Amino acid sequence: MKNRINIMPIIVLTVFLFSFGCIVNTSNAVHVGVEIPITSDSSNQEDPRIDGDRIVWVDSRGINGNDDIYMYEISKNIETQITTDIADQRYADVSGNIVVWNDFRNGNWDIYMFDINTNIETQITTNLSNQLFPRIYEDIIVWQDERNGNSDIYMYDIYFKKESQITSNIFDQKSPVIYLNNIVWSDHRNGNPDIYLYNMINKTEYSITQYPSNQTSPSIFEDIIVWQDDRDGNDNIILYDLINKREKRITNDISNQREPDISENIIVWQDARNGNWDIYLFDIDHNSEFQITTNHSNNRSPKISKQKIVWQDYSNDDSGDIFAYFFGDRDNDGVINEFDSFPDNPFDYKDTDKDGMGDNLDPDLDGDGICDLQDMFPTNSSEWLDTDLDGIGNNFDEDDDNDGIDDINDREPLNPINSLEILVGIVIEKLDLFENSFSTRLNNTENNIRFSLSEIEDNMKVVFAENIIELLSEMNQINFSVINLERDIQKLNNSILTWLENFETDVSTNISKLDEYITLKFSILHSYITLLKDDLNYRLEGLIYNNNYTLDELNEIQTILESLDDIENIIIQLENLEKDVRTQNKDTNDDLRSQNVLLWIIILISIIQFVFFSLLIRRLMKKNNALEYEQNNNYSDE
């Protein structure tokens, strides 16, 4: 989506020029307006449609040179590309928040729809034949359909998601349009195109014209139908009143007038009376005709919605651009009455907060009670403060102080300094959860090992009885080593407690000592884990060498090794956290906070040591008792 150039200065300038007679006026009814370009791209833009504030058209500016559908919202001054498929999309129409068009992405022309509010594109027709020239009014889409070998009129109800066939005559019915409950089209059943109407309420079809000449390009608004008629040898514009059932001739010039469109009391068409195609207007209430365009280039395919006209203009180059004409500006301030909150005040036209005071004089544009000088969002009544200056107001910003902690979890949501303590708390909480999960895994692993060891012992009785004494000796040595390790751990923990009692004497010195101590602790843990992993690998190699193993035994030993890897990963994460604390300490000089974090790291290391070695000692002791029991039994047997 891209922003367009602001059209207001163009409107003001154009009104000034028009005040000197740029509009041809042939009656007392004055339609002073402004003409503005909607597109200026060098590629071709054609076949515009308009409804209220939105204009759609066919645009070939894409890199593939294909036709896409574009939209322009007048009040927002924003242009939007609706389609991006590499195939051609043509014949767009718009009603409210729905855009429809012809799409060739499936190898034939289908009808597609786009909901502006939801940004959802929907394929309406899937038949393999061509469906052409869609038109939409509110929830009803109509089009020309070739699935039956000729052109018929079909409709689709968006709300009920239902497709219906309107005509079934064997001849062609083309160019449908719709308003309220009436569908109108050009019908060839009489040998030439006539205008027909179908009422969706009474499900009845009517013939509007039955002349031998051609009546084509119908348009309808409320009870008025207009069309292009060549009954006099050239094309003229004809009006038909459904209430009075009377025709009225709108144009009488001997040149051609084609492609009429109607909205409210205004009819527009393209006119060739000046040697080129110009856009003309007819005011039904005043029975008056006006010339809209006066340049010498061709201006084609006009469409109107209320007091806004759009057309395809060739004044800039050989390719077309989309132009618009807005009329109705009582105070001549360049803003048409429809968009002017103060249509009789030339010094103001906008009232953002709808308080009756124009924006040029209002000290609080959005009416939120905060003066614009103090309001960081002066036109947004739901916001006024942006603490972290990220462009998102505090009311919608999930992290007001931009410290990486969501406000809902931030004890001081407007203070970015407290994020480290919260982050450490989150890390500790996650580590606690991991410790509980890891303890469960160790217990499960211990049970599996116990069962596996029982099977191993049974096999050893039969095949390798002579190795039991040696294995028991080695296990005793391991058990003795583990006991010594446990004592060392106890000593280390006692040392930690003693060190903590003296820690408060010198914070800065203690930080350095903490770093060295933690590094030593990490080194010891790594050494213990490496020793145990090497011992397990040695046991594994012995089993493999003696060919005394099963697949389950190997898996169990591998599980123990993976558990040791998990412990080692936790230690690495704690090492990284300790490094981050040291770095932040250098940046912020916050020794006390770093001290607290390092203490937590030491406590976590101690917890890991205690949990790991307690479980390991308990598992090895149980295994040692089982082996001693087996050895005693063997001696008794001997």
pLDDT, tens digit (0-9, with 9 covering 90-100), for 596-607: 555 566 666 666
Cα atoms in the Cβ-side hemisphere of radius 13 Å centred on 312: 19
pLDDT given for residue 234 in this prediction: 96
pLDDT above 70 covers a percentage of the chain that reads 71
Checking if the pLDDT of 462 tops 90, the result is no
pLDDT given for residue 336 in this prediction: 59
Beta-carbon contacts of 140 under 8 Å, excluding residues fewer than 6 positions away, are 155, 156, 157, 158, 178, 200
| Distance of alpha carbon 106 from alpha carbon 114, whole angstroms | 17
| Lowest-confidence segment of 235-244, 308-317, 348-357, 509-518 by average pLDDT | 509-518
Q: Which residue has the tokens 């060098």?
A: 42
Q: Which residue has the tokens 């009455």?
A: 337
Q: What's the pLDDT tens digit per position in 122-179?
A: 999 999 999 999 999 999 999 999 999 999 999 999 999 999 999 999 999 999 999 9
pLDDT given for residue 620 in this prediction: 52
**Whether the Cβ atoms of residue 438 and residue 520 lie closer than 8 Å to each other:** no
| Distance of alpha carbon 227 from alpha carbon 230, whole angstroms | 10
What global pTM score does this model have?
A: 0.53
Q: What's the pLDDT tens digit per position in 330-379?
A: 777 766 565 678 888 888 888 888 888 888 888 887 888 888 788 888 88
CA distances 217 to 136, 188, 237, 301, Å, are 16, 13, 10, 11
Q: Name the pLDDT band for 629 (thresholds 50, 70, 90).
A: low
Helices (H) and strands (E) in the chain, counts: 6, 30
The full 3-state SS of 210-248, as one line of letters, equals CCCCCEEEEEEECCEEEEEECCCCCCEEEEEECCCCEEE
Q: Check residues 265 and 463 and name the one with the higher pLDDT.
A: 265
pLDDT given for residue 74 in this prediction: 92
Domains of the chain, with CATH numbers?
A: 2-339 (2.120.10.30), 416-637 (no CATH)
**Whether the Cβ atoms of residue 195 and residue 218 lie closer than 8 Å to each other:** yes
pLDDT given for residue 17 in this prediction: 37
Q: Check residues 365 and 306 and name the one with the higher pLDDT.
A: 306
Maximum average pLDDT range among 130-144, 484-498, 624-638: 130-144
Q: Check residues 318 and 346 and name the one with the higher pLDDT.
A: 346
Q: Name the pLDDT band for 383 (thresholds 50, 70, 90).
A: confident
Q: Which residues of 384-420 are buried (b: 16+ CB within 10 A; e: fewer)?
A: bebbeeeebbbeebebbbebebeeeebeebeebebbb
Rounded mean pLDDT of 526-550? 72
pLDDT given for residue 281 in this prediction: 92
pLDDT given for residue 179 in this prediction: 97
Longest dimension (CA), the chain: 133
- Mean pLDDT, rounded, of the chain: 79
pLDDT given for residue 22 in this prediction: 33
Q: Check residues 507 and 459 and name the one with the higher pLDDT.
A: 459
> Smallest Cα–Cα separation from 99: which of 118, 76, 78?
118
Checking if the pLDDT of 279 tops 70, the result is yes
| Distance of alpha carbon 260 from alpha carbon 483, whole angstroms | 101
Query: First CA to last CA across the chain, in angstroms?
Result: 92
- CA dihedral angle for residue 462, residue 463, residue 465, residue 466, rounded to 10 degrees: 160
Rounded mean pLDDT of 1-30? 39
Between 591-637 and 507-545, two packed helices, what is the crossing angle to 10 degrees? 30
